[in-house]
């Protein structure tokens, strides 16, 4: 039997058994919630354009759409975080006014945000009771609150220690705290914003059962997502948004993934896949027994070893927080290692500097493209030459060569299809997808020997995602060694030649992609050694993913 | 000189140190609440100056030092509100607005003094209030129990602040708002209201600290009487890691060093007084450099809160 965060996965063979049969509908006030004609604009952006949705008690409504389709904005309106320009909200057909989260909470609406809204320095209990009246007047009553949290936790299988400080919890546990927070406030409509994005497949699976249980107990759930398989697996109805407008609402049983994808994107989407065979090139980047400290002090990398070969993509699978960021920083020369070695193209680059790594042929697509990938206040052309600005043809002596720079920038904008009003536009005005194109243009045009791609498609819409993936495959075909860190196993499996699993600062497994299953990788990501898995289990998991 | 007994000197140094604690404790405990809620108030020094002047002036005119203290606290609250208006509602950069508030108060207190008083004069401040029974204990009595009531109050504020911060509902809001204002907001906590409350409390305590200097210690007013104590109080909040107990330790270290240098001068020990005066500051800088490294700090400190930002 496998245990992750105290939850037994043996239960998975019989989903019906652990269904929550509790107080059912009695005592619940919300029968249905409607949003009608919601319009919300931000400067220059029409985020919601006359959107109507409705959700009923006991059902899970999936709110599907690409990034920027307006899903989160719509839900933030419902939760009182944004004021709509027009439109109204009805609960049980009565118009209600929601001008702050406090109003939403009082009406029985709870929200689990995509970026968790937790105070890391406080304990679980303190986070849960924050903002609530205490039974002891001005004094906190943490003991009885902790007891109620434990009750809720066991009733909905949301195991978590009420006395742990939140910064010590895993992402999965933090999410449970978010759900408990909403339930503790008596939420009858629970909005979940991309809840599975940060979870392992097993945790996602568990969460889906928790959501089902909550719906069965008479609550309404709105699930924001852009993952089609999730919609099919858990929802009763689907509302699809595109470019801030309502496309349609359909019953899940009448839909399929292909149909939903078309509704979401507005056209057919090709799948980018690695098709050709793996070539057996020479190792380009080699990390050997690398130890490095985290920002907090304890080592984040504990004897990490890996090698990436010419012309291959090595996918790094792992739950975020297991050393991905530190590993990327070590490779980029941004973080010192305490022992071990880093070699690039056979040369020792241990504890080198970012400049030396760049000159030695490392390309880097950083995790946080806005903070680490560009200088926001610089123009597109300035950002494009950042890494070679001191070399000809971009500079002679101490002077920048304006003509050469402009010519290069225009060429890059053309080739990489960077949508920008001009090459003098400030980079911060570009959309996320175009910033990523800019970074790709800068780093790929330098013909890197090794490309470190950290979550390259995170937060991008389908078109930009496909572009990034296609570019990675192009670079691979040109002989570059690519490290692909991603939270999407599907991406890793579609692109990589080999996959390595990173767990607690170590590579616990490296294998050819064709030799492993998603299920095995998922279990390794959760910290389980490769043990035998029973067949029923694997099947269900693969379906889930 | 010969007649002075070493033990008396040591007791004297310690007793003076305890007396000097009060302004640091009041001001830095107030600043701690501000910073815990995410607002960095550099105007403490200025608010202390106004508190010092108001406390002095009310006592001089009306002859009632208690009324002086109350008015100083009210002045502090008003100035705290002003800081809140500038930095919370108008979202001005906090460092600059704090310095601005300081300059404003410095100018205003000096101006008011010249216009309405104009010369150095003394007032009848608070007398020491030996605590019956405890004041006669050898050694401890003179060190701890022969001060005026404001000194006792300042020390009492340490456990009170701790209790308020960690054991009350309001304290939980303060701690949350300074670390994750967005998260607190989604739970219906009024982030800006909490910050206003903290700035008013911080202002009240800074005003009280200032009043102590004129009504509880010097019994007179002079320009720049605070002599940088407000800025030291800001440093002590960092030194004390945003915790009342740490702030007490930091304040003790600083006031004891101050007391030591005063006694060095009083006793006429052959030690250049310029160096003696520097001593407490050097020790504070050294202690800060050693103690404040990789320390947890309220992560939203200095950042104005705006709900609708994409």
In chain B the domains, ranked by start, together with CATH numbers, are 6-120+169-290 (1.10.3470.10)
Q: Identify from B35, B177, B183, B242 which residue to disrupt to test chain A contact, counting A C-beta atoms within 10 A and taking the largest count.
A: B183
Q: Residue A485: helix, strand or coil by DSSP?
A: strand
pLDDT value, residue B4 = 64
Confidence of residue A280 (pLDDT cuts 50, 70, 90): confident
Q: Residue A246: helix, strand or coil by DSSP?
A: strand
Residues A112-156: tens digit of each pLDDT: 988 889 999 999 999 999 989 888 889 999 999 999 999 999 888
Å between B278 CA and nearest CA of chain A: 35
Question: What is the arithmetic mean of pLDDT over A334-341?
Answer: 93
Å between B182 CA and nearest CA of chain A: 7
pLDDT value, residue A322 = 87
Residue contact B188–A79, C-beta within 8 A: no
pLDDT value, residue B3 = 54
Residue contact B308–A139, C-beta within 8 A: no
User: Across chain A, what does the average pLDDT equal?
Assistant: 85
Residue contact B169–A134, C-beta within 8 A: yes
pLDDT value, residue A203 = 83
Among A504-518, A522-536, B27-41, B214-228, name the most confident range: B27-41
Is there a contact between A495 and A473 (Cβ–Cβ < 8 Å)?
Answer: yes
Nearest to A117 among B167, B182, B294 (CB): B182
Residue contact A140–B307, C-beta within 8 A: no
Asked if pLDDT for residue A23 goes beyond 70, the answer is no
Establish how many alpha carbons lie within 13 A of residue A391's alpha carbon, considering only the half-sphere containing its beta carbon.
Answer: 8
Nearest to B188 among A100, A134, A297 (CB): A100
Q: Residue A458: helix, strand or coil by DSSP?
A: coil
Task: Assign residue A44 a region (left: φ > 0; alpha: ψ between -120 and 50; beta: otherwise).
Answer: left
Establish how many alpha carbons lie within 13 A of residue A468's alpha carbon, considering only the half-sphere containing its beta carbon.
Answer: 27
Q: How far apart are CA B59 and CA A105, in angstroms?
A: 51
| Crossing angle of the two packed helices A257-265 and A462-477, in degrees rounded to 10 | 100
Asked if pLDDT for residue A95 goes beyond 90, the answer is yes
Q: Residue A31: helix, strand or coil by DSSP?
A: coil
Residues A386-435: tens digit of each pLDDT: 999 888 889 998 899 999 999 999 999 999 988 888 899 888 888 778 89
Q: How far apart are CA A340 and CA A288, in angstroms?
A: 6
Percent of chain A surpassing pLDDT 90: 54
Angle at A524 between CA A521 and CA A527, to 5 degrees: 155
Nearest to B310 among A42, A132, A138 (CB): A42
Nearest to A117 among B171, B175, B183 (CB): B183
Q: How far apart are CA A152 and CA A162, in angstroms?
A: 11
pLDDT value, residue A529 = 59
Q: Residue A213: helix, strand or coil by DSSP?
A: helix
Å between B38 CA and nearest CA of chain A: 13
Q: How far apart are CA B250 and CA B205, in angstroms?
A: 18
Residues B58-67: tens digit of each pLDDT: 999 999 999 9
Question: What is the arithmetic mean of pLDDT over A44-56?
Answer: 87
Å between A80 CA and nearest CA of chain B: 9
Question: What is the arithmetic mean of pLDDT over A335-354?
Answer: 93
Interface size between A and B, measured as CB pairs under 8 A:
76
Q: Identify from B169, B175, B197, B294 which residue to disrupt to test chain A contact, counting A C-beta atoms within 10 A and taking the largest count.
A: B169
Question: What is the arithmetic mean of pLDDT over A494-523?
Answer: 90
Q: How far apart are CA A412 and CA B88, in angstroms?
A: 44
pLDDT value, residue A41 = 84
**Searching chain B, which residue's CA lies closest to the CA of residue A47?**
B310
B interface residues, A as partner, C-beta within 8 Å:
167-173, 175-176, 179-180, 182-189, 294, 296, 307-308, 310
Confidence of residue A500 (pLDDT cuts 50, 70, 90): very high
Contacts of A137 (CB under 8 A, 6+ apart): none
* Strand ranges of the sheet holding A32-42, from the earlier edge strand across to the other edge: A45-56, A32-42, A86-91, A94-96
Q: How far apart are CA A17 and CA A10, in angstroms?
A: 11
Question: CA A365: distance to chain centroid?
Answer: 16
Å between B148 CA and nearest CA of chain A: 31
Residue contact B186–A138, C-beta within 8 A: no
**Searching chain A, which residue's CA lies closest to the CA of residue B297?**
A121
Confidence of residue A17 (pLDDT cuts 50, 70, 90): very low
Q: How far apart are CA B300 and CA B237, in angstroms?
A: 16
Percent of chain B surpassing pLDDT 70: 96
Residue contact A129–B185, C-beta within 8 A: no
Contacts with A42 from chain B: Cβ below 8 Å: 310
Q: Residue A46: helix, strand or coil by DSSP?
A: strand
Question: What is the arithmetic mean of pLDDT over A79-89?
Answer: 93
pLDDT value, residue A269 = 59
Question: Model pTM?
Answer: 0.74
Q: How far apart are CA A241 and CA A65, in angstroms?
A: 5
From residue B264, give the alpha-carbon distance in Å to each of B16, B261, B270, B279. 13, 5, 8, 11
pLDDT value, residue A496 = 93
Contacts with A81 from chain B: Cβ below 8 Å: 185-186, 307-308
Nearest to B179 among A120, A131, A138 (CB): A120
Å between A191 CA and nearest CA of chain B: 13
Residues A297-315: tens digit of each pLDDT: 788 999 999 999 999 999 9
Angle at A368 between CA A363 and CA A371, to 5 degrees: 100
pLDDT value, residue A542 = 36
pLDDT value, residue B255 = 92
User: Across chain B, what does the average pLDDT equal?
Assistant: 91
Confidence of residue B154 (pLDDT cuts 50, 70, 90): very high
pLDDT value, residue A537 = 41
Residue contact B172–A129, C-beta within 8 A: yes
Residues A215-248: tens digit of each pLDDT: 998 999 999 987 788 889 899 999 999 888 999 9
Complex-level ipTM beyond the 0.95 threshold:
no
3-state secondary structure chain B: CCCCCHHHHHHHHHHHHHHHHHHHHHHHHHHHHHHHCCCCCCCHHHHHHHHHHHHHHHHHHHCCHHHHHHHHHHHHHHHHHHHHHHHHHCCCCHHHHHHHHHHHHHHHHHHHHHHHCCCCCECCCCCCCCCCCCCCCCCHHHHHCCCCHHHHHHHHHHHHHHHHHHHEHHHHHHHHHHHCHHHHHHCCCCHHHHHHHHHHHHHHHHHHHHHHHHHHHHCECCCCCCCCHHHHHHHHHHHCCCCHHHHHHHHHHHHHHHHHHHHHHHHCCCCCHHHHHHHHHHHHHHHHHHHCCCCCCCCCCCCCCCCCCC
Is there a contact between A33 and A54 (Cβ–Cβ < 8 Å)?
Answer: yes
Asked if pLDDT for residue A515 goes beyond 50, the answer is yes
pLDDT value, residue A342 = 95
């Amino acid at each position: 039997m496998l245990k992750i965060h105290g939850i037994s996965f043996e239960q998975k063979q019989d989903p019906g058994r652990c269904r929550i049969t509790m107080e059912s509908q009695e005592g619940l006030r919300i029968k249905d919630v409607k949003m009608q004609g919601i319009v919300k604009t931000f400067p220059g952006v029409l985020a919601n354009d006359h959107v109507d949705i409705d959700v009923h008690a006991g059902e899970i409504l999936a709110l599907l759409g690409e990034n920027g389709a307006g899903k989160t904005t719509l839900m933030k309106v419902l939760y009182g975080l944004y004021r709509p320009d027009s439109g109204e909200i009805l609960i049980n057909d009565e118009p209600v006014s929601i001008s702050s989260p406090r109003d939403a909470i009082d009406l029985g609406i709870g929200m689990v945000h995509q970026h968790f809204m937790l105070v890391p320095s406080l304990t679980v209990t303190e986070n849960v009771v924050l903002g609530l009246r205490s039974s002891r007047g001005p004094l906190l009553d943490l003991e009885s609150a902790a007891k109620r949290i434990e009750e809720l936790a066991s009733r909905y299988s949301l195991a978590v220690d009420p006395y742990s400080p939140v910064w010590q919890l895993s992402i999965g546990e933090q999410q449970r705290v978010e759900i408990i927070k909403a339930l503790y406030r008596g939420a009858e409509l629970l909005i979940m914003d991309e809840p599975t994005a940060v979870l392992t497949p097993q945790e996602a699976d568990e969460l889906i059962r928790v959501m089902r249980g909550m719906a069965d107990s008479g609550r309404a759930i709105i699930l924001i997502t852009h993952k089609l398989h999730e919609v099919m697996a858990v929802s009763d109805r689907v509302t699809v948004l595109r470019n801030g407008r309502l496309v349609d609402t359909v019953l899940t049983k009448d839909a399929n993934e292909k149909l939903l994808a078309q509704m979401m994107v507005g056209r057919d989407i090709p799948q980018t896949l690695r098709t050709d065979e793996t070539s057996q090139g020479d190792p380009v980047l080699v990390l050997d027994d690398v130890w490095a400290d985290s920002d907090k002090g304890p080592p984040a990398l504990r004897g990490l070893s890996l090698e990436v070969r010419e012309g291959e993509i090595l996918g790094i699978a792992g739950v975020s927080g297991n050393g991905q960021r530190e590993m990327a920083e070590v490779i980029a020369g941004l973080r010192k290692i305490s022992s071990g070695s880093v070699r690039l193209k056979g040369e020792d680059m241990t504890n080198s500097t970012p400049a030396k790594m760049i000159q030695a042929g490392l390309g880097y697509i950083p995790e946080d493209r806005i903070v680490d990938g560009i200088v926001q206040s610089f123009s597109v052309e300035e950002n494009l030459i950042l890494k070679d600005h001191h070399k000809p043809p971009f500079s002679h002596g101490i002077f920048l060569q304006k003509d050469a720079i402009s010519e290069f920038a225009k060429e890059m904008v053309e080739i990489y299809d960077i949508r920008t009003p001009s090459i003098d536009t400030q980079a911060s005005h570009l959309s996320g997808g175009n910033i990523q194109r800019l970074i790709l243009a800068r780093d790929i045009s330098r013909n890197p020997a090794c490309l470190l791609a950290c979550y390259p498609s995170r937060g991008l819409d389908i078109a930009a995602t496909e572009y990034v993936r296609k570019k990675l495959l192009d670079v691979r075909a040109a002989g570059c060694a690519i490290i692909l860190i991603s939270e999407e196993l599907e991406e890793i499996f579609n692109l990589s030649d080999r996959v390595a699993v990173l767990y607690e600062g170590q590579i616990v497994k490296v294998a050819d992609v064709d030799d492993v299953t998603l299920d095995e990788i998922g279990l390794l990501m959760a910290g389980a050694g490769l043990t035998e898995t029973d067949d029923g289990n694997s099947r269900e998991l693969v379906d889930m993913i | 000189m010969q007649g002075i007994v070493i033990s008396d000197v040591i007791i004297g140094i310690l007793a003076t140190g305890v007396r000097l604690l009060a302004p640091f404790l009041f001001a830095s405990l107030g600043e701690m609440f501000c910073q815990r809620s995410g607002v960095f108030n550099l105007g403490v020094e200025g608010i202390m100056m106004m508190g010092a002047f108001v406390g002095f002036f009310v006592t001089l005119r009306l002859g009632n030092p208690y009324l002086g203290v109350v008015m100083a606290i009210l002045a502090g609250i008003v100035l705290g509100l002003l800081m809140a208006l500038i930095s919370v509602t108008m979202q001005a950069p906090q460092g600059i607005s704090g310095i601005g508030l300081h300059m404003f108060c410095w100018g205003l207190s000096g101006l008011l003094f010249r216009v309405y008083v104009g010369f150095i004069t003394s007032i009848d401040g608070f007398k020491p209030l030996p605590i019956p029974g405890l004041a006669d204990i050898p050694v401890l009595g003179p060190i701890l129990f022969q001060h005026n009531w404001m000194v006792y109050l300042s020390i009492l504020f340490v456990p009170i602040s701790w209790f308020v911060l960690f054991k009350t509902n309001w304290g939980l809001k303060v701690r949350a708002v300074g670390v994750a204002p967005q998260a607190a907001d989604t739970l219906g906590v009024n982030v800006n209201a909490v910050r206003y409350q903290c700035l008013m409390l911080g202002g009240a305590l800074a005003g009280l600290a200032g009043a102590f200097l004129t009504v509880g210690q010097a019994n007179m007013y002079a320009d720049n009487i605070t002599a940088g104590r407000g800025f030291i109080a800001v440093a002590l909040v960092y030194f004390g890691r945003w915790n009342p107990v740490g702030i007490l330790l930091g304040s003790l270290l600083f006031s004891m060093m101050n007391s030591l240098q005063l006694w060095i001068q009083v006793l006429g020990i052959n030690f250049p007084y310029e160096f003696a005066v520097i001593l407490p500051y050097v020790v504070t800088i050294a202690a800060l450099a050693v103690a404040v490294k990789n320390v947890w700090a309220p992560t939203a400190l200095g950042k104005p809160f705006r709900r609708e930002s994409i």
